[in-house]
Structure 1
């Protein structure tokens, strides 16, 4: 972090607080009901994503490049929920709003990394659907296990580097105004506004982060489905179009659930009450990890058949043991 700290100059004394105070949900009426709801959402998210990961791992027929991406999405959803919700409940439900400086930066890093990887996982799945529909004869050659693993690994590296830069830029700040963060977690935008020295680099990264982790992936996804729609319009029969489109319904549902609430919240932020905005962003962070596994289990034929097969094998083994 010396690189970031040197930007302040040698003659400036750092003022780093021992802790920050997270005040996002404080003062919101009936907030305990939201805590109970968030706890329920977290349990469903952990159970659902664990089931999806277990099914893909146990069924060798699902070890295809597409389900490598689905497995990674479930893993990221599980990590993201576990990084955010337990700490959120500890802060507000158990009344521990004080969070040490270094813990706050670590909290920020894990939350931002997992939320960003959700976005890039959707890019990976959209690329898979694009190649499967536009170049079906070349799918086995273009989308291999090695390619999919390399693509996912490159996204991980990119996201970690970007988030580390955002965290590193916070370490160069001197805090002399306040230690109260008006958010439900250690939000980069809320933290740097508390600093009393130059925050220009932080302002720049605050603009770049949404462009890199939200708008750029969304642009690629929209372009992919525009191209898919154009290609399907050239298909001779309606049945072939419907059959091809059905393979995209699960992914389109995930894209809508992830991007639509975020876009609405950010575009209407000036018209939304600050407390309502905090609640909306909190729910936006925890809902996709809960709904993603449910959507894939209900809308994906391969996973449904795999779950039935695993349950059937388990039932047979139990009958055999009893006999």
Structure 2
């Protein structure tokens, strides 16, 4: 199917190759991962919505991360699962469907940074200027932060995909387990210099802003904790910041491994697996990490479990 159709609207997905004896174990591993991501992220979002004790800026902002994880995994995993069970020749996808999948995949990667950046600001205000926290982190501010996180991501990714869909295509094979921007512009025989420049520039800007905000914020928080020497403040800072930092590091390392392996064609199978795990690992672990850290979430779940245990005895 490669190199003979000009601007074809039917593309072939190379997909993720699995040996026959590993087909069903791999399929069920990805399937269970997807179910876990959806159940845990939807569950914690509902929990935050139901329990008024969790109507705090930190948890409300975290809902953005859960939404991003749900969108990212739903965009990739159902299609991937169906492709695993198909022979390579039947892994066909419409061009516009591929564009939508690429847009959503890039959006997930971008919002992973922007959402964690607005959560960083929340931690900064809570620890460095706690007396003004309630007046700064109002509902209006939460809406502004949420809109900026998603708005910036939509603009960056929209321009990225806009530069790609303007290109004529002379190839039809997507050499990836799913559609992304790089896979799409590699279908073109035209110059992709502008695409590479914009893609590299936007990635550098996003990473610089993301890592820079983390470094500056945590440096200020560290200075505040050291100068004030307040034991309760230090405990609070360690508790909330360690959770946020772990989530951020998981996201960064998952993405970096995928980017590095993408540069080595001889490790293409590992590169494909790491690209898939970028959508699975953070989405699976984020809710667990925040759930373990949060005393309010643990308390709610504990009370819910106790009430369920008392139900049979009350029916007697």
Instruction: Return the TM-score normalized by structure 1.
Output: 0.87
Instruction: Give me the whole-angstrom Cα distance separating, in 1, the residues matched to 2:201 and 2:168.
Output: 22
Instruction: Give me the whole-angstrom Cα distance separating, in 1, the residues matched to 2:275 and 2:180.
Output: 11
Partner residue of 2:250 out of 252, 257, 261: 257
Instruction: Give me the whole-angstrom Cα distance separating, in 2, the residues matched to 1:127 and 1:29.
Output: 48
Post-superposition offset of 1:193: 2.0
How many aligned residue pairs are there? 308
Partner residue of 1:101 out of 74, 95, 98: 95
Gaps in structure 1 of 5+ consecutive residues: 1-13
Distance of aligned partners of 1:244 and 1:205 in 2 relative to their CA distance in 1, 3 Å threshold: same
Partner residue of 2:16 out of 7, 15, 25: 25
Partner residue of 1:60 out of 52, 59, 69: 52
Q: For the Cα contact (< 8 Å) 1:173–1:197, is it kept in 2?
A: yes
Distance of aligned partners of 1:197 and 1:211 in 2 relative to their CA distance in 1, 3 Å threshold: same
Instruction: Give me the whole-angstrom Cα distance separating, in 2, the residues matched to 1:250 and 1:165.
Output: 33
Gaps in structure 2 of 5+ consecutive residues: none
RMSD after superposition: 2.4
Instruction: Give me the whole-angstrom Cα distance separating, in 1, the residues matched to 2:194 and 2:219.
Output: 36
SS in 2 for 1:224: helix
Map 1:130-145 → 2, pairs under 5 A: 130-145=124-139
1:38-80 superposed Cα distances (whole Å, 9 cap, x missing partner): 1111111111111101110111121122211012211221121
Post-superposition offset of 1:155: 1.7
Partner residue of 2:120 out of 109, 114, 126: 126
Q: For the Cα contact (< 8 Å) 1:20–1:99, is it kept in 2?
A: yes
1 or 2, which has the higher helix percentage? 2
Instruction: Return the TM-score normalized by structure 2.
Output: 0.88
Map 1:130-209 → 2, pairs under 5 A: 130-176=124-170, 178-209=171-202
SS in 2 for 1:198: coil
Instruction: Give me the whole-angstrom Cα distance separating, in 2, the residues matched to 1:180 and 1:302.
Output: 49
Q: For the Cα contact (< 8 Å) 1:24–1:184, is it kept in 2?
A: yes
Q: For the Cα contact (< 8 Å) 2:48–2:55, is it kept in 1?
A: yes
1:241-279 superposed Cα distances (whole Å, 9 cap, x missing partner): 234211222211111111123224434654571221121
Give the equivalent residue in structure 2 for 1:211.
204
Give the equivalent residue in structure 1 for 2:282.
288
